[in-house]
Structure 1
Amino acid sequence: MQYTFGMKRIAIGSDHAGFELKQHLISYLATKGLTVDDHGTNSTQSVDYPEICANVARSVRDKKADMGIVLGGSGQGEQIAANKVIGIRAALCNDLYLAEMARSHNNANVLSMGARVVSPELAEQIVDKFLITQFEGGRHAPRVAQLHEIELAEIKLSLKESSN
């Protein structure tokens, strides 16, 4: 299976609920010849996920990783946390269709999944679908560009409000 963009490095992180699935996916991705940067957590002990997910997202933003994966019980909070990082388009994908659409239509660069929602086998399939699917561009490119423009407008508004 050929992953897109000559992909070589994946950043991954999870909370305690996603820890076991994270460990499984680290091993799985290694068998595909990918380097995986593990941003934690390192056990099933309860932990707050926002900073872990933000670190995964920053790694993607800073081009230290080609794509990111964040995992939690449902994947919802992890997706939200990753999306707080400018330039990140994190998508919650608990099935193959969503993984394909997230990449082909939205150019998502971080995959979020719920470890209490998907089995390890399905998670492997979702990861594969996410990593092999290329962004279609075309009619979707202006929409993704608009997302970036919204980010920039929000930054400008925030800076303006903080200077008042």
Structure 2
Amino acid sequence: MNSDHSLEHVYQAFLVAQDSFRVTRQTVRERYQPSMRRTQFVGATPEQAEAALAQASKQASDLAVLALFATFERYVIEHLQTANERLAVGHPVEYSRKLAEKFKGEVEYWRFEEILDLFKPGLDADQIGQVKQIKKYRDWIAHRNTNRPAPMPATPKTAFQVLSQAADQIRLIHTLPN
């Protein structure tokens, strides 16, 4: 995916957050009081501070995966919605125009796994499988259904790499040349 795309921005924000956690850990370890004023770390033991930072870091990682997948999902849906332009110029014209409008309006509500399957001729099955695995983890993060076991976790780095590659492939294969 191009570096100007939103996935890059989400991932870079996550990396800044991780750097901030590292700086904060060092600040707490050194008990640097001027930086700790008006924070929850005042009066906390090093163990309490480390536990809070570890929990916050894990939460930031999960939220990064959630945001990365939501961004990717929006990209894919918008990409498909532009396909209605090709449908609209089909034959017979009136039917094609109506079909294109229906397609554009309803693609938003399709199951995302089914949308991914539309790209199988251009994306290999392993790549689609990796995207679906990230989606399972994203769904678990979003809903935290404790009656179901947690799926295999995805790191923000892995999510960024897999989703960027998939988006690049979709753009390369499914965008009409000028």
TM-score (norm 1): 0.22
- Between 1 and 2, higher relative CO (CA 8 Å, sep ≥ 6) is seen in 2
Q: TM-score, normalised by structure 2?
A: 0.21
Q: Rg larger in 1 or in 2?
A: 2
